[in-house]
Structure 1
């Protein structure tokens, strides 16, 4: 078993981006600027946004955070989106999810200018990705692809099973893993809450990507010997032994599953850190106008 260490890989990627940014700015390029809209004070969202801001500082980006109370109206959030769309200094921005129930995530996402949609959620970017055209790839799938590349994991002809069909991870991941490219060329099965014989399907996976949001759901008997296991789940579980009062768990029961795998990601310290690298990479592409002119 080898660990796909998100901490080590993300640190390497951030160092690479920092070096490229320094050269870009020294050559007269604009300092990349990432903004974020945060509604409410969800603990996981707060942690994630704070990590993004720290990462921006580390690699030489500018960053802006627009905060709103959970009672903010949808119209006010749309106004903030339009403000960032029209700000020439902001290269890319995200609207941190989840949003309160009274605000439509689809309405907000579709209001973002695709050229500044560095989360890769806008239908234009999703459609371009499906067509194999240049696009901002969703940050988490981007991070997973980068892990596979840097570990030199062979994907061609492999059976990839994706557990979860969210528009943020499961769906784009299934599309990317079957494309005629590397990583890709897999035979992909996408599974979800209505899938019958889920355990048997998972047992046939050469590459198993778990993105369903249920702590420790995937046990050793779901995994075949030598499989590559990518754990996307991040769930807070009450843990009185911790100072914070909770532990962070993935979708995979790591201690149970790890001995059977060839490669596995830990939680924390795995895919989550790579997601931020995907966001930073997309923002730098936006600053350089690589995707949209």
Structure 2
């Protein structure tokens, strides 16, 4: 990664510092916003092809892995009560995968500190999975390679490999095959949040219904737009705002029409671009600066079109060890 203001792409997951196996490890992983989410019609195999341009943002999840007898998990933070604390949790499944690959028992207590909206289309669960992979690898001294971590991430879910890489990347396949994108500078975001999440499966089902009804045309592209990639390389927020795209947005608006009002408020506040993040319901507004992001967030709050707001900067690192107690 180059110095401040230079071009940079996703770097390696994990920490460059040597770690002492067996001591508690804290790993931080970012949520994301989809700068572009391009979705094909449902294929004969029952799947959609997806091309996504992800950007990691400074709303983060923390996973602390501590030595324990057996596997257990606890969760704190906003909407923690909506997060399962059993074997269905993606971080739990990540620990099991690392233990199997390392040939050890999955003896670990995982504590998740939520900082990314739950079921908000910002991949908070995927960030938990990525953080747990890195944390358990470090805790047990497994020494898994970059390729092994990414292989396990792909088994966990389509957004998990990106949460390992961070920064900005293009995802293909189910979104799990990620290629770093060269990006300059930082991008400032305001997010309009809703307590009630949206089912990704439900949004895709509505997307399929709209296409079958002929109200949503097939506009799937195999590549991200040249204009978007140029905007990222130039660090041009104005140009990037004009390129934001989410093929699932009409389906999300069909299921939650109030999102349209949130988007209009953000546009009226001068947002450079506004898009539903992922499958929603989070509305992401690209701002000119950090101060402008605060102003957009304040406008959404004043208009009473959101349950909460957050601001963040984009193009931050992926899953990283941030502390290991002495």
Fold conserved between structures, TM > 0.5: no
Greater helix proportion: 1
Greater strand proportion: 2
Q: TM-score, normalised by structure 2?
A: 0.27
Q: TM-score, normalised by structure 1?
A: 0.30
Higher relative contact order (CA 8 A, sep 6+): 2
